[in-house]
């Protein structure tokens, strides 16, 4: 059974396995062919996030192998990010021998099919050994169909020694094609709405970047001469940040978002939920006189939205058709962007905005940024020049522990573009073991730790919620350079602009995993 399953994985391009094994997984792993590679992580949360980063960059499915219920449970926090980034992860776990599961012996995955629900798109344990390959095939196709997302399969370890039915070979060349698109009438209605708008606005989400549709979005914005915002809580960058149409990231509160869009009569949201709010700032969903149209490839996003008219359709195809067919507007062209804000640092440590400005000057123009410095978002978007597809990733559900291992997985996926992880010192500890994997597999990722000794995002929320000083907000006394060196990663600590720039240039030239610990101003990372 394991042989035909590996044939199936090979046929689907799933020859990289991210995992942390336990005893239940050994019978499957013992048969791994030579053309597969096993990327070992030291904690299941880091394993899942490495696979997530790898999948986000490749745009393809990634295969994850975890240990029973305990290992799967360790990965579930990281899995929340994969759900909302629509990452097609095939998450598998070993199970005890079939005849002993009901006894709940040690390392049983009790009621395995329900363990990951409701997070995953689909979850199953095959009813018999002969159904393992078909179940794995169903998992792969389900993960990759719109809207994409992770799936989970638990396999009793004695199944791998069973004989596969001869007809199983039919799974190897089977394809499942998606062909939905908007009708001519629906496209016509959308074009009439956009062309008839007095002051249209575009709001773009992560699915635009994921579907390689950024150029189509630029063409549509230019023809409409419309401003463009990124939907709140962005996990990707779907539009060039120095384009004249770019207006930044929408705020994540209802009233604030509505106020930002005031004056627009037609708001076209593409590739994002409506909306991923965060701070509870109640108010009207839309400004007076505005109509919202929502285009998404995820039926769930369309169904759960509390307002607006939704179309479920492929993102790239729909944007391409709209951008090609809409008539160019005669509205005045939008002004080019202003110069980057002047920034600097005073006193001890670097201001985060200053750090990002320095990084913009030193890093390659096509660098990929994986950001988990959760309270420096405004400074990041104000200072960075992101113009290429697939340049930015952030934990899609806000779950910490994504950033550092996802940066490792992203660099493994694309060795031709430099990946730079921007990680707050609070969140770094959730996925720190990924440094070992970077060292073990010689993955030349650069990790920048923004160190201020506190959970900066929580301090920001303490002001919003008016909670004052509460326990558990500070994390002083961590030496990330020593930790990195202990895992086999070169590291340095800096606290001045000159030293930071020197450290970045040295890391770029080194061609090996590098950690740079940067002391930043208090309350910013």
Among residues of the chain, what percentage have pLDDT more than 90? 86
Catalytic site residue from 19, 22, 94, 421: 22
Catalytic site includes residue 196: no
- pLDDT of 458 reads 55
- pLDDT of 281 reads 87
Phi/psi for 425 (5° steps) reads -70, -25
Q: Note the pTM of the prediction, 2 decimals.
A: 0.94
- pLDDT of 374 reads 86
Catalytic site includes residue 67: yes
- CATH 3.40.50.970 maps onto the chain at 2-171, 352-519
Q: Which CATH topology does 2-171 take? A: Rossmann fold (3.40.50)
- pLDDT of 460 reads 61
- Could you tell me the sign of the dihedral formed by the alpha carbons of 263, 267, 271, 277, in that order? positive
Catalytic site residue from 45, 49, 55, 67: 67
- CATH 3.40.50.1220 maps onto the chain at 184-325
- pLDDT of 523 reads 43
Catalytic site residue from 2, 25, 216, 491: 25
User: Which segments in the chain show pLDDT lower than 50?
Assistant: 523-525
- pLDDT of 205 reads 98
- pLDDT of 395 reads 96
Q: Give the list of residues 6+ apart from residue 499 with CB closer than 8 angstroms, or none.
A: none
Distance CA 368, CA 492 (A): 21
Helix axes 497-510, 352-362, angle to 10 degrees: 40
Query: Alpha helix locations (H) across 363-488?
Result: 377-383, 403-413, 425-428, 434-440, 456-464, 480-487
Catalytic site residue from 167, 278, 289, 344: 278
Q: Take residue 300 and report the two structure tokens written for it.
A: 């769930």
- Could you tell me the sign of the dihedral formed by the alpha carbons of 107, 77, 420, 315, in that order? positive
Distance CA 326, CA 311 (A): 18
3-state secondary structure of 275: coil
DSSP tag of 519: E
- pLDDT of 475 reads 67
- pLDDT of 524 reads 40
Q: Say which CATH architecture domain 352-519 belongs to.
A: 3-Layer(aba) Sandwich (3.40)
Distance CA 376, CA 392 (A): 14
Catalytic site includes residue 23: yes
- pLDDT of 335 reads 92
Catalytic site residue from 73, 398, 460, 488: 398
- pLDDT of 346 reads 82
Nearest partner of 94 among 169, 168, 162, 20, judged by Cα:
20
Catalytic site includes residue 141: no
In CATH, what number does 184-325 get?
3.40.50.1220
Catalytic site includes residue 468: no
Q: Taking a C-beta distance cutoff of 8 angstroms, is the pair 398, 374 a contact?
A: yes
């Amino acid at each position: 059974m394991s042989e035909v399953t590996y044939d199936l994985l090979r046929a689907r391009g799933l020859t990289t396995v991210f995992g942390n094994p336990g005893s239940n997984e050994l019978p499957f792993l013992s048969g791994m062919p030579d053309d597969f590679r096993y990327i070992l992580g030291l904690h299941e949360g880091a394993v899942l996030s490495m696979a997530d980063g790898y999948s986000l960059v490749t745009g393809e499915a990634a295969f994850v192998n975890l240990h029973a219920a305990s290992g799967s449970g360790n990965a579930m926090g990281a899995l929340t990010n994969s759900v909302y980034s629509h990452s097609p992860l095939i998450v598998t776990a070993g199970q005890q021998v079939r005849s002993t599961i009901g006894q709940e012996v040690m390392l049983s995955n009790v009621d395995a099919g329900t363990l990951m629900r409701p997070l995953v798109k689909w979850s199953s344990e095959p009813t018999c050994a002969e159904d393992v390959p078909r179940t794995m095939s169903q998992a792969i196709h389900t993960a990759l169909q719109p809207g994409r997302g992770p799936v989970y399969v638990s396999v009793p370890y004695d199944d791998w020694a069973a004989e596969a039915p001869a007809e199983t070979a039919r799974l190897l060349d089977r394809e499942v094609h998606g062909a939905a698109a908007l009708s001519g009438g629906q496209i016509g209605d959308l074009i009439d709405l956009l062309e008839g708008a007095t002051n249209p606005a575009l709001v773009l989400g992560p699915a635009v970047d994921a579907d390689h549709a950024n150029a189509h979005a630029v063409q549509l914005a230019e023809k409409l001469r419309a401003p463009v915002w990124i939907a709140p809580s962005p996990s990707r960058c779907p539009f060039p940040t120095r384009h004249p149409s770019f207006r930044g990231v929408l705020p994540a509160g209802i009233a604030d978002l509505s106020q930002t869009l005031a004056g627009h009569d037609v708001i076209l949201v593409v590739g994002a939920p409506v909306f991923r709010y965060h701070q509870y700032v109640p108010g009207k969903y839309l400004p007076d006189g505005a109509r919202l149209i929502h285009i998404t490839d995820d039926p769930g996003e369309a169904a759960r939205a509390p307002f607006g008219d939704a179309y479920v359709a492929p993102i790239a195809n729909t944007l391409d058709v709209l951008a090609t067919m809409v008539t160019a507007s005669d509205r005045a062209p939008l002004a080019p962007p202003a110069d980057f804000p002047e920034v600097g640092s005073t006193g001890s440590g670097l201001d985060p905005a200053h750090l990002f400005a320095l990084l913009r000057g030193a890093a390659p123009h096509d660098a990929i940024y994986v950001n988990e410095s959760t309270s420096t978002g405004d400074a990041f978007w104000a200072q960075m020049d992101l113009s290429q597809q697939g340049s930015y990733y952030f934990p899609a559900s806000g779950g910490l522990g994504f950033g550092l291992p996802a940066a490792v997985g992203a660099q493994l996926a694309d060795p031709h573009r430099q990946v730079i992880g921007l990680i707050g010192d609070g969140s770094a500890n959730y996925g720190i073991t990924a440094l070992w994997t970077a060292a073990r597999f010689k993955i030349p990722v650069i990790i920048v730790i923004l160190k201020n000794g506190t959970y900066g995002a929580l301090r920001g929320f303490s002001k919003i919620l008016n909670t004052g000083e509460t326990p558990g907000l500070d994390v002083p006394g961590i030496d990330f350079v020593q930790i990195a060196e202990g895992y086999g990663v070169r590291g340095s600590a800096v606290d001045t602009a000159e030293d930071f720039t020197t450290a970045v240039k040295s890391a770029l030239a080194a061609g090996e995993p590098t950690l740079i610990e940067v002391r930043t101003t208090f309350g910013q990372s």
